[in-house]
Structure 1
Amino acid sequence: MIIVHEQDLLFHLKNTQVSYVFRVMEETGILENLYYGSTISDYENFDWLLEREIRPGNNLVPEKLLTSLEHIKQEMPVYGTTDFRYPALEVTYPDGDSISHFRYQGYKIFKGKEAVKPLPATFGEADQVQVLEVFLKDDYSDLHLTLRYAIYKELPVITRQTFLQNKGQQDYLLKHLASLNIDLPNEQYDWLHLDGAWARENHLSREKIHRGVQQVSSTRGASSHVHNPFLAICQPQTTESQGKVYGFSLIYSGNFQAQIELDNYDYLRIQLGINPFQFQWQLRSGETFVSPEAVAVFSLHGFSGMTQAFHSLFRRHLIRSSWKDVPRPVLLNSWEAAYFDFDEKKILDIAGASKELGVELFVLDDGWFGSRNSDKGSLGNWTENCEKLPRGLANLVRDIKAMGLQFGLWFEPEMVSDDTPLYQAHPDWIIGHPKKNISQGRNQYVLDFGNPKIVDVIYDQMDKILKEVPIDYLKLDMNRYISEAYSSELSPVQQGEVAHRYILGVYALYDRLANAYPHILIESCAGGGARFDAGMLYYSPQIWTSDDTDAVERLVIQAGTSMVYPLSSMGSHVSAVPNHQVARTTSLDMRKNVAFFGVFGYELNPLALTQEEKEQIRQQIKEYKAYQELIMQGDFYRLATGDTNRIAWMVVSPDQSEALVGYYQILAQPNPTYQRLRLRGLKEDDCYQVIEANTESQRYGRDLESIGLLLSQNYLGHEPEYWSREMLGDFSSRLVYLKRV
């Protein structure tokens, strides 16, 4: 998959779906990108891809008018080489300047791939992935740069990662190191990104690319509710099913920047990496700085093609948990059932009622520790709340497991409250300047996880609980951002390292927990989706998608999240109504039909249900278990409906033998038009049994794709029934199951 033209110093990464070609430029030793896109033949000579007009402006080589790097597509642009676009690498030298020139030195190819600690990354066996490392050295120092490329055999995926090593005796200040830089010819592209806020995460935005710089980023210490570390570019005519798409995702959970720069010669520069805002890393002699890994996906089959490539890569080559391919238990979380208001009897009653419904895992959320009765204290004091649980967690869990339930527990390990022994003994362990104002968020402070001693203390507290209590599931939460990045442990010149060191500490904690307790299912959470990113997926196979559990809001949230992240990673629960976030009332059926397309569970009080609702939930759980493997392992399609009032999607098994379709109408419409829903991903010549509620019919795959499901009714021969029909009203949904005959 990696072809090297030794004489021309040219590299061609190639599989059946994608090609990536770059070369070493003559005289300068700089890496020039020639092509990235659908797979092409490997030619003896690639000179036909070179673009060189004479530019009389700044040229790198004197009297050579073809060496203006401002107009050349590059792999790793730096400042000081006549390129006036934003660089991918910026280093401050002892003289105070930032002029660099990294020149080609050599390469290495190997098969198989593992993550390079301390960061998460993709991995694969020798027959699945090949890796190319290209080595560069700075002309002006002993700084060495390694660009790592990986290509996966079965996927239209190229990954990029960057390593900067200081082999000299002097220290340098690293100001910026992008994980990926790609320069592409512009084709009047649009760009897509995911943005929002708490309780409305990952809304999809699509905009025209204009001259200059456009970006999404985070400065909050987490990838954030506001933007996701993802962007895509596409042709204007691109849809879910057709058109060219380049998708980019960063495997990182901290401050990031994903940037597009369109220059005056119609080249498009795309960069992903750690946000250079307030970032500065002291690179000492002998040290190496490792950037997060970036993923580039190419699709000729629209957004669905991009989505399925991301989903396959993340499911097979990023999530490492022992739970990655195991059916997840249907859980009930105590948060919306009780909030902080519970005691041992109430928890046991809720757990018992959950078991009667068919729930498999009971999760005790916030409020079980210290003296926690509100969000105003006890974080960092991970000991049982003796007033609420006088017999302790171990006895409570023993009784819950005797019911036949698994047990899960909530922690928020990265935070501390000021009423705890931990804070009172170590007030300097929080992030913030001790002589300046330190803000609170949700009445709590952020622990300085860049300090390994603090991670050790929190891990030891958690480890004590986990050793004494048989726990099957952990929900690890994070409910506030970093607003004053300062560490009392670091020198003044290192304060730009706080945010990155913090997220490395978070990864270290997750890594220790996953290694010590591989049987435990870990679900990451950050006030909902504030850290729903590929970095966290490496450690936790599922992430709480949003604190907003309203079925209508979740349609947009889950559709946006599905652009990049697989259904098997998206925590998706049925909650009580009126909904606790938006006060909307939707049917239990609607809530179920939305939550099915994710990791299914409940977020309600089973003691408050009617007998009819209890029976409905019993049937829902049985239905979900029948579809679970299909939902977790299938290919996902967002279906075109023609308007924002109607949303539809489907998941198709890898062998195309079955599929599940969800169709949702938000508001009812008077005198509706005739409507059809064209399906995708089926085998054209196969016949499928189409099952909806109590009706069945048989249709061929080609007909379901070209004509679709007819959503309007046919009252021919039974007209009187029209006047007595049950009208669905607002917030209605349909679920259709297809099985190959």
Structure 2
Amino acid sequence: MIHEENGLFKLDTLHTSLWFRVTRHGHLEHIHYGDRLSSDQDADGLLLKQSTLPGSSILYDQNDPYYCLDTLALEWSGIGRGDYRQSPVEIKMPDASFTCDFIYKSHEVSLGSSPCADLPSATGEDEDCSTVKITLEDISNHVELFLYYTVYEATDVITRRVVLKNNNRKSLLIRRLMSMMMDMPDRGFKLITFDGGWIREGHRHERPVAPGIYINSSTTGASSNRHNAGFILSEKGTGEDNGRTWGFNLVYSGNHYGSVELSVQSVLRIQVGINPYCFEWELGQGECFETPEAVMTFSSKGFNGLGRNFHDFINKHIVRGSWRDAERPVLFNTWEANFFNFTERKLIRLARQARILGIETFVLDDGWFGTRDDDRQGLGDYSVNKKKLPKGLKRLSRKIRVLGMNFGLWFEPEMINENSELYRNHPEYAVTTPGKEPTRGRNQLVLDLCNPEVRNYIVSSLSRVMDEAEVSYVKWDMNRHISDGFSHCLERQGEFFHRYILGLYDILRRVFTPRPHILLESCSSGGNRFDLGMLCFSPQIWTSDDTDPIERLKIQGGLSCLYPLSTMGAHVSDSPHQQTLRATPLHTRFNTASFGSLGYELDLKNLTPVQRKEIQHHIAFYKEHRRTFQYGRFYRLDSMADNTVNWLCVAPDGSEAIAGVFRTLSEAAPRGDILALKNLVPSASYTVTSCPQMLSVRSFGGLVKHITPITLKPDGLVLRLVDHYRGVPDGRESYSCKGDTLMSGLHLATTFLGTGHNEHIRLMGDYGSSLYVIKRKEAV
């Protein structure tokens, strides 16, 4: 809901309000963003008071002794008029100065969203959202700035973006233009960012906001695994389910920039947009430049509450097409089973095994094209490797579909090897800096997506292969950062990084819009491009190349603060894990991966009969509860112990919930676990049942001597044979409780104490875990 009266703008969602006003000098003054306010009141009690000014202040108008931009809370600012905080805009104006002062001119309100022209943005119908477009103008230079605010009432989200228009005869040069800026009074904020690198993406970090500026950004050419574009501000004492939180993100897949700056007057300035790093954009007369769309939301119910806002918004307004609100298939990826070494016979053998396990989509990863026998050759070529697949992809795909599975294929369209036909014919297609030896990553160069010829080649090549092989799933990879940022097609190289991303979006539209049935999973060495821009095309993203379930607790747990589980590709792989050398139980690998879009990536021929049976059970269980896992309300639950992580998904209709209890490291004589659930009906009756799971006999080591009549070697032939066909069932638990009891805290069964074993003891150990199914017995 958007309401304006006498220059006071009130933007209200279901639970939040954003208020700002036009000041007497035409600037936009921020008043409030947080809990929803009663609309039938003025804003005087919320305004920062300016009855006097600090020393050294610069007056905006000599005739107005109490008006200083540096002490106001603003929705937008400029340069050269007395505001010394970081500006959201840096433009060499047509008058050759950097001074800019954007003053209110007009506004208009409309129903629906305000989609970007060339960039992906959120979508919404008239009944979902409304938009206010506010026109500001730098009068002396005839330059207009349009601020777009779109209010998504049901999801408690407001999006913001900026369009700059040059009406001057002379051109201007943009060096910095943010998508949003907002000032708020300090509340003792903490800043939470999601940082890492390859195989350790999205780790949650928290620090107090102190005077000065903190920047969360990427310069890799992608949104990056180093610093996700999303970040959170919280008040002191905020927990998962209590306290005020403010979240920000950007619908963009390139170099992003987010900053928080605390002034000496204790006003916090928040900015989100394109990174000014190496950025310049010339704007001629009548031309416009649009920024990516920024997303902001608020919750008074802690980090889980904020996450629910983001999750609902992404599932309803970012993900689109036939995959919006659709359940993701269980897939098998061939990479860890075969790497580059496979034949059609090997693949069909794998596919038959995968079908028996319950797999729905079979994905052929790297190595199917050109001379791609290792990562030093072949990228850029799309002819099928006839040594591996003599009858081509079409026959392989048909055989996979006859087995009852869909067929998926891996591509890395943005990259090129120098040992490829494409490079030999078109070396100018690669991104290189004139006069310098190019820098390489994973033995490859980057294709110049600023070049329309390159884009046309990628679109035609991918379209041909996808149609011929009748693929229903695509894994789109990007395995290196961008360096040597230069395009021979551009006169102004300051446009390179942004035009590269515009070129990527152009390719994605042209390839996948005509093929809406294809499920696109974005990947960039794992989660190097996990962002809202890619989610507009790719309903799920390969969260990390790290499939170690203990590491995934940090990765998926961190990213869940910003993104729904339906978007997170999560696989069960071999153990010990190739990224950490950590050995983990099969059930823990599944239990972690089930909180996402499930897949498998291991060599199926090495599975024992007991493991095959266990995986069959896992997949059947996941399919039964898939809707809850992918679209249920997700909660990170509090735990008494530092070595335990508890997660919960509650079905959209409230009929069931799935809880996961994960032990990162065991301890001697552990305390009892209490599982306090959320979002249940207090008066309803529920059953709680642990999911059956098996443990390896050899995991008990020398303890087996206490329960066998003869002495057996812990790693001897007999126990290896037993492990091959039988496992030790973990302790089973079953309870009947009211919802209020479960939310107060369910005391779980005793874990192994080193003194014995029976059917009631939970055998957690290092890296152990359990799933609990909570079923409501009666309608409420």
TM-score (norm 2): 0.92
Q: Tell me, in whole angstroms, the C-alpha distance in 1 between the residues paired with 2:113 and 2:762.
A: 57
Contact kept in structure 2, 1:190 and 1:209, CA below 8 Å: yes
Question: Counterparts of 1:454-533 in structure 2 under 5 Å?
Answer: 454-491=454-491, 494-533=492-531
Q: Residue by residue, what CA displacement relative to the aligned partner does 1:216-239 show, whole Å, maximum 9, x if unpaired? A: 100110011100001111111000
Range with bigger deviation, 172-181 or 107-116: 107-116
| Mapping 1:460-609, distance limit 5 Å | 460-491=460-491, 494-609=492-607
Given the superposition, is the C-alpha separation of residues 593 and 33 from structure 1 closer, same or farther in structure 2, using an over 3 Å criterion? same
Question: Residue 61 of structure 2 corresponds to which residue in structure 1?
Answer: 61
* Mapping of residues 440-451 of structure 1, within 5 Å: 440-451=440-451
Q: Partner of 2:742 in structure 1?
A: 704
Of 742, 766, 771, which residue of structure 2 is paired with 1:730? 766
Question: C-alpha separation between the residues in 2 aligned to 1:517 and 1:72?
Answer: 50
Once residues 348 and 114 of structure 1 are traced to their aligned partners in structure 2, the CA distance between those partners, rounded to angstroms, is 48
Determine if contact 1:552/1:731 at 8 Å carries over to the other structure.
yes
Q: CA deviation at 1:702?
A: 1.0
2:365 aligned with 1:365: yes
Aligned partner of 2:116 in structure 1 is 116
Structure 2 distance, partners of 1:270, 1:724, is: 53
Q: Tell me, in whole angstroms, the C-alpha distance in 2 between the residues paired with 1:169 and 1:452.
A: 29
Partner SS state of residue 526, structure 1: coil
The corresponding residue for 1:247 is 247
2 CA distance for matches of 1:223 and 1:600?
24
Deviation at 1:707, TM superposition (A): 2.5
Is the 8 Å Cα contact of residues 677 and 711 (structure 1) preserved in structure 2? Answer: no
Q: Structure 2 regions of 5+ residues with no counterpart?
A: 692-731
* Separation in structure 2 between the aligned mates of residue 722 and residue 518 of structure 1, nearest angstrom: 53
1:232-311 equivalences under 5 Å are 232-311=232-311
| Structure 1 SS opposite 2:625 | helix
1:708 Cα shift? 2.9
CA distance in 2, matches of 1:484, 1:232: 33
Task: Report Cα offsets for 1:41-74 as digits up to 9, x if no partner.
Answer: 1245323333213225211111322221000011
Deviations 1:167-199 (A, max 9, x none): 222111111111111101001111100000100
CA contact (8 A) 2:640 2:673 kept: no
SS of the residue corresponding to residue 655 of structure 1 reads: coil
2:42 paired with 1:45: yes
Pairwise CA distance, 1:590: 0.7
What corresponds to 2:173 in structure 1?
173
Cα distance, 1:720 vs structure 2? 7.4
CA shift, 1:94, in A, is 4.2
Deviations 1:487-546 (A, max 9, x none): 11111xx21110011111111111112211111110000000000011111101000000
How big is each residue's C-alpha offset from its partner over 1:457-509, in whole Å with a ceiling of 9 and x where there is no partner?
11111111122121110000001111221111111xx2111001111111111
SS at match of 2:227: coil
2:620 is matched with which residue? 622
| Contact kept? 1:321, 1:538, Cα under 8 Å | no
Query: Who is 1:162 aligned against?
Result: 162
**Cα deviation, residue 421, structure 1:** 2.5
SS of equivalent residue, structure 1 residue 197: coil
Separation in 2 of the partners of 1:110 and 1:63?
37
What does 1:677-716 correspond to in 2, within 5 Å?
A: 677-693=675-691, 694-712=732-750
The answer for the alignment partner of 1:127 in structure 2 is: 127
Distance in 2 (CA, whole Å) between partners of 1:367 and 1:125 is 43
Give me the whole-angstrom Cα distance separating, in 2, the residues matched to 1:306 and 1:252: 20
Deviations 1:133-189 (A, max 9, x none): 101111221211110001112122111111111222211111111111110100111
Which position in structure 2 is the counterpart of 1:98?
98
> Which amino acid letter does the alignment assign opposite residue 276 of structure 1?
P
Aligned residue in 2 for 1:36: 33
Q: 1:723 to 1:449 in 2, by over 3 A?
A: closer
Distance (Å, rounded) in 2 between the aligned partners of 1:481 and 1:95: 38
Structure 2 CA distance for aligned equivalents of residues 490 and 297 of structure 1: 37
Contact 1:31 1:76 in 2 (8 A): yes
Q: Read off the aligned partner of 1:496 and give its amino acid letter.
A: G
Instruction: Give, in whole Å, the separation in 2 of the partners of 1:117 and 1:606.
Output: 47
- What is the rounded CA distance, in whole Å, between the counterparts of 1:264 and 1:711 in structure 2? 54
Give the match's secondary structure for 1:393.
helix
What secondary structure is seen at the aligned counterpart in 2 of 1:126? coil
Assess if the C-alpha contact under 8 Å between 2:114 and 2:148 holds in 1: no
Which residue number in structure 1 is paired with residue 394 of structure 2? 394
AA aligned to 1:367 is: G
Closer/same/farther in 2, CA of residues 86 and 9 from structure 1, 3 Å limit: same
Q: After superposing the two structures, state which structure 1 stretch, 254-263 or 282-291, moved more.
A: 282-291
Q: Is contact 1:474-1:522 (8 Å) kept?
A: yes
Question: How much does 1:419 deviate?
Answer: 1.8
Quick one: distance in 1 between partners of 2:209 and 2:230?
Answer: 16
Q: Compute the RMSD of aligned alpha carbons.
A: 1.6
For residues 356-384 of structure 1, give each alpha carbon's deviation from its aligned partner in whole angstroms, at most 9, with x where no partner exists.
Answer: 21111100000000000011011110110
Partner of 1:211: 211
- Count of aligned residue pairs for this structure pair: 733
Match among 8, 11, 22 for residue 9 of structure 2? 11
Give the TM-score of the pair, scaled to structure 1: 0.97
What one-letter code is carried by the residue in structure 2 that aligns with 1:17? H
Tell me the amino acid that sits aligned with residue 50 of structure 2.
Answer: R
Aligned counterpart in structure 2 of residue 632 of structure 1, from 622, 630, 633: 630
| 1:556 positional shift | 0.6
Identify the range of structure 1 (515-524 vs 106-115) with the bigger mean alpha-carbon deviation. Answer: 106-115
Q: Which residue of 1 aligns with 2:701?
A: none
SS in 2 for 1:201: coil
For the residues of structure 2 that align with 1:72 and 1:289, how far apart are their CA atoms? 27
Indicate yes or no: 2:686 matched with 1:650.
no
Q: Secondary structure at the match of 2:773?
A: strand
Looking at structure 2, the residues matched to 723 and 682 of structure 1 have their Cα atoms a distance apart, in angstroms, of: 29
Take 1:480 and 1:284, find their aligned partners in 2: how far apart are those partners?
Answer: 34
